[in-house]
Structure 1
Amino acid sequence: MASAVLGASVTAGLLWVLGPGAVWVLEHFDGVTGLTGKDLAAALDAVRGRALAIATGLVALLAVFYTARNADTARRTFACG
C-alpha cells in the first residue's frame, strides 16, 4: 500500500514537472528568472530533461531491486526442492 502511494506521488510529481511545474522548478530550485523566448524554452527543456533522467534512474534502480529479489527467491526455491 505504501509503495503504491509512493509510486503515485512520484508519477504525479513527474507529470507536474514535465508540465506547468517546470517554470516553478526553474525559478525556485535553479534561481533563474527573466528569461524569454528561446532562452526560456531551452531552460525549460533542461529542467524537463533532468526530471526524466532522474525518473529513469529511479525506475532502473527499482528494476534492479526486483530482479535481485526474484533471483533470490528462485535460488531459495531450487535450493530447497
Structure 2
Amino acid sequence: MIKKHTIYKKDNWNMMTIEVQGRKIVLREISDEWGEETHDFLSRPALMQWASDRFPKERFETEAEWEEIMNAFREV
C-alpha cells in the first residue's frame, strides 16, 4: 500500500509530494526552475535531516511558515 502526502503545492509546477512505499520513502520535488527531482530515503530520520538542510529556518520570512513545512514532513 502506498501512502501519498503533499508537503506543498503552489501550482502544477511548484510542488513537493512524498510516497511511503513500505519501508522506502520517495520524495518528488517539481519546480519551474529545476524540473523534477526525486529523492529516496530508507528512514524518516534521513528524510527529516534532508528537510532541515533543504529548508533552513533563515530562508523563511516567518517562523510559522517554516514550522508549517516541517510539520508536513513530520506527519509523513
User: Common fold, TM-score beyond 0.5?
Assistant: no
Higher relative contact order (CA 8 A, sep 6+): 1
Q: TM-score, normalised by structure 2?
A: 0.29
Q: TM-score, normalised by structure 1?
A: 0.28
Higher strand fraction (1 or 2): 2
